[in-house]
Structure formats: structure tokens, C-alpha cells
């Protein structure tokens, strides 16, 4: 049984299927949202293992905002495009957060993937970032063009290293990255709030826990919010959305 091992680290975690059913039922039942009029977006790591919920099966045409580590690299251009694509009379729904693997004996940061017998890192990009930060050998700036997302992910973790001299552990990094993803996503939504013509933006954030193929993956939900774009306070960023190109995204 994998669940007791997961609960030791993430006591509130539930299977991806449970998360999907719970929140979609709540959204449709409590708010009257029509599932076929919801535009779904993710800000998750681009790792192929991150299909832990069934949201993609229920909410078609997912819009991808995230990249390595789940940070919303699509930026303001991507968020504006997403806002403009919401169906008439529909709502926006964004599922976000990083991921972490767990082995069959409860070791975090590794997993056995489908079709493989050996263990690999999960999240591999976060593990690599930690190796570089803990060793004091960060990716070089001149590599930015070839590895921009990894460099940005490593830079996002530097406050953890600056906070103390101890070695950063993967669970600490994943928890910290969750709040990084959340903070950046909220900042983008604030900046693009006037571009949403829908009445609601559903935000569901958590940490995906990847397991071996014979088990369910789990999600530790951290935040669920319903935003009215018209009531979001003034953005911290100066709007750059007035151009025709942005309006036509």
C-alpha cells in the first residue's frame, strides 16, 4: 500500500480521481458552471508523468501555462491568450503546482515510471536545481538561450539557499516552489484581469505526488479560490495590453 507512505509526508493528499470528481462537482453544483463551457489551463511541470487528475479527460483543450517545475513561463502573453479563449458564457479554471515522486518504500524525489524498472528523479528539474544550488555550481548565464526555464527555476530557489547554509531537501524545495508558482500566477492574473470577460476564475493549487504505475497518483491540495475578474484589485504591473496584437491573441 502506497497511501500510508504518502500520508506520512502529505496527510491531506487524495487520489487524482477523487480530486477531479470533488472539485468539478462542486464547481458545477455550487456555482452552476457548465462543464462544457469551462476553459481549462494548467501551470504544472511539463514532465510527461503529470496526468494525475482526470481534468484533461473532462475539460477538453487544456491551455498550458507552465514549464519546468510548474512555473507559469507563458507569462502575461500566455495568460492574456487564455483569457481571450474562454467560451462565451463560460468560466476559466486553472490547476497549478509542482510535483514530487515517491518510491514504493517511501523515498521522496524518485519514482518508477511506466515501462521502466529503474528509478528516475521527479521532479527531475527540481532535483537538478538542488544539486547545483547545494554544490554551489549554478547553471551559467551564457546557457540561458539553451536552458532558460531551468535557469529561471534555479533562480527562483535562491531565497532558500540564502536563508541558511544547510542543504536544501526535495520536499522543502517542492513546498517552496508551490508558493512561487502561486505567487507568480496571481500576479499575472492581476495584470491581465481586464482581459477576462467571464464572471469566474477558478484556481486550484496543490502538489502532485507521483507513484509507481500500479498505484494511483495523489494530489495534496493547498488552495482553492474563486475570483471575479471585475473585483480583483488593481494590478501591481503597468498594463501592456492595449496593443491590437494583444487584443487579438
Q: In Å, how far are 33, 67, 139 from 157, measured between CA atoms?
A: 37, 15, 13
Quote the pLDDT of residue 164.
65
Three cell numbers, residue 147 = 536552458
User: Looking at the predicted structure, is the pLDDT value of residue 59 above 90?
Assistant: no
Identify the CATH number of the domain defined by range 3-247: 3.40.1050.10
Three cell numbers, residue 78 = 500566455
Check residues 165 and 186 and name the one with the higher pLDDT. Answer: 186
**Which phi-psi region, left, alpha or beta, contains residue 13 (left: φ > 0; alpha: ψ -120 to 50)?**
beta
Residue 242: pLDDT band (50, 70, 90) is low
Mean pLDDT, to the nearest integer, of 68-96?
Answer: 96
| Core vs surface per residue 120-142: b (16+ CB within 10 A) or e | ebbbbbbbbbbeebeeeebbeee
Quote the pLDDT of residue 185.
96
Rg (CA), the chain: 18
Side-chain half-sphere exposure of 131, counting CA atoms within 13 A: 10
Question: Tens of pLDDT along 120-132?
Answer: 999 999 999 999 8
**How much of the chain exceeds pLDDT 70, in percent?**
90
Amino acid at each position: 500500500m502506497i497511501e500510508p507512505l504518502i500520508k506520512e509526508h502529505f496527510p491531506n493528499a487524495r487520489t487524482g480521481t477523487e480530486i477531479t470528481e470533488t472539485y468539478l462537482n462542486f464547481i458545477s453544483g455550487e456555482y452552476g458552471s457548465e462543464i462544457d463551457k469551462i476553459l481549462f489551463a494548467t501551470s504544472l511541470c511539463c514532465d510527461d508523468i503529470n496526468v494525475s487528475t482526470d481534468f484533461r479527460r473532462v475539460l477538453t483543450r487544456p491551455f498550458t501555462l507552465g514549464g519546468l517545475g510548474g512555473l507559469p513561463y507563458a507569462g502575461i502573453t500566455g495568460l492574456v491568450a487564455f483569457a481571450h479563449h474562454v467560451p462565451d458564457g463560460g468560466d476559466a479554471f486553472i490547476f497549478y503546482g509542482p510535483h514530487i515522486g515517491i518510491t514504493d518504500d517511501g523515498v521522496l524525489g524518485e519514482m518508477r515510471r511506466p515501462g521502466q524498472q529503474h528509478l528516475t528523479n521527479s521532479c527531475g528539474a527540481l532535483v537538478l536545481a538542488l544539486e547545483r544550488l547545494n554544490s554551489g555550481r549554478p547553471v551559467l548565464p551564457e546557457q540561458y538561450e539553451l536552458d532558460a526555464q531551468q535557469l529561471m527555476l534555479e533562480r527562483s530557489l535562491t531565497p532558500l539557499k540564502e536563508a541558511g547554509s544547510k542543504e536544501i531537501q526535495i520536499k522543502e524545495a517542492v513546498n517552496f516552489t508551490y508558493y512561487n508558482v502561486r505567487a507568480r500566477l496571481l500576479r499575472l492574473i492581476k495584470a491581465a484581469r481586464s482581459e477576462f470577460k467571464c464572471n469566474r476564475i477558478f484556481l486550484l493549487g496543490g502538489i502532485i505526488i507521483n507513484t509507481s504505475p500500479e498505484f494511483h497518483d495523489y494530489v495534496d491540495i493547498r488552495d482553492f479560490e474563486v475570483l471575479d475578474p471585475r473585483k480583483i484589485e488593481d494590478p501591481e504591473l503597468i498594463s501592456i495590453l492595449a496593443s491590437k496584437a494583444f487584443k487579438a491573441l
